[in-house]
Amino acid sequence: MNGELTFGERLDTVFAAYGHLCLGIDPHGSILDAWGQPDTAAGLREFGLRVVDIAVDRLGIVKPQVAFFERHGAAGYSALERVIREARDAGLLVIADVKRGDIGTTVEAYGEAWLRRGSPLESDAMTISAYQGLGSIEQVMVAADEAGKGLFVLAATSNPEAAAIQRAVLQQSSRAGSTVAQAITQGVIGWNQGRADAASRAFGSIGTVFGATTDLALAGIDIDAEPPRPGLPVLAPGFGHQGAEPGDLRLRFGSLSGGVIANESRSLLGAGPEGLADAIARRVDQYGAAVV
């Protein structure tokens, strides 16, 4: 990395400056209506750029939900490229919520699309699936580390239909006896601990996705254990509209709370362009009180 900051180091800086709130840029049709924008690629672009403009200097992380842009095809991707570029140029950390996953050169290509320096879609981190095993995304993990980027691996999500898989106990594995979610989490922690100077870093660059309304204990995640070093970044969708509140953060995440990125989208965006700044300010204060 030639002395440049790791993603974990940049995340630590953002936490210190702006706290743990992440604004999801999710252009649902109803949200676009509230912002006076049509559900077109042009409408998404104008909406996204306005959101970025309001977010700058108020919080430190945004998470575009790529699916809402992708449904408009090439024009939607063009809009997304512009939104990501403007956000990163303004100093925001951008987590591309793409949930890609595969094996071999295919998953490597996904990593190049979203994490390679100079890519039209270059982001600071991306969400990724390790359904085919953590080893299937190892080359993307290597590439992310080398480029100073981050990954958030799906581990314990909130959707009810995921529980049967994520809580299933492994039978044939070096982590036999662990749940799938627990094995992914421990694998990510182990990866971070194996990086150079890991013990001196506040956070690793590879994290997990834990739904904010998920019972982590049922998924085999011990939130009372001593926190790992470096800390585990946790992308936590589900705050706000889906039911979790800032005051729940420590109760739900325990010793992992210091690394939680609390994502809200509709609960903030619904305030419209006139109310978003105040809504962000209130939530930043509430999360700050919850994490301390």
Question: Domain limits of the chain?
Answer: 7-291
Say how far residue 245 (Cα) sits from the centre of its chain. Answer: 18
Digit-coded pLDDT (tens) for 142-171:
999 999 999 999 999 988 888 888 999 998
> At the fourth CATH level, which superfamily is domain 7-291?
Aldolase class I (3.20.20.70)
Tell the residue number behind the tokens 């490229």, with chain if given.
81
**What does the alpha-carbon distance between residue 129 and residue 71 come to, in Å, rounded to a whole number?**
21
> Which has the minimum average pLDDT: 135-139, 193-197, 227-231?
193-197
Say how far residue 58 (Cα) sits from the centre of its chain. Answer: 18
Neighbours of 126 (CB within 10 A): 25
Digit-coded pLDDT (tens) for 251-290:
999 999 999 999 999 999 999 999 999 999 999 999 988 7
**What does the alpha-carbon distance between residue 28 and residue 9 come to, in Å, rounded to a whole number?**
32
Digit-coded pLDDT (tens) for 42-74:
999 999 999 999 999 999 999 999 999 999 999
- For the chain, how many residues are written? 292
**Do 156 and 129 form a contact (C-beta atoms < 8 A)?**
no
In 3D space, the residue among 151, 52, 169, 51 whose CA is nearest the CA of residue 95 turns out to be 151
Average pLDDT on 98-110 reads: 95
**What does the alpha-carbon distance between residue 253 and residue 239 come to, in Å, rounded to a whole number?**
13
Query: Could you confirm whether 99 is annotated as catalytic?
Result: yes
H helix or E strand, kind and range, residue 251:
helix 249-253
**What does the alpha-carbon distance between residue 259 and residue 192 come to, in Å, rounded to a whole number?**
13
**What does the alpha-carbon distance between residue 140 and residue 107 come to, in Å, rounded to a whole number?**
7
Identified catalytic residue from 88, 99, 241, 266: 99
Helices (H), 35-154: 41-55, 66-70, 73-89, 104-115, 138-147
Encode 226-236: b = buried (16+ Cβ within 10 Å), e = exposed.
eebbbbbbbbb
Give the pLDDT confidence score for residue 68 in this predicted structure.
97
Output DSSP code: residue 178: S
**What does the alpha-carbon distance between residue 101 and residue 207 come to, in Å, rounded to a whole number?**
15
- Assign 214 a pLDDT band (cuts: 50, 70, 90): very high
In 3D space, the residue among 286, 287, 238 whose CA is nearest the CA of residue 259 turns out to be 287
Instruction: Give pTM, 2 decimals.
Output: 0.96
| Dihedrals phi, psi of 24, to nearest 5 degrees | -80, 125
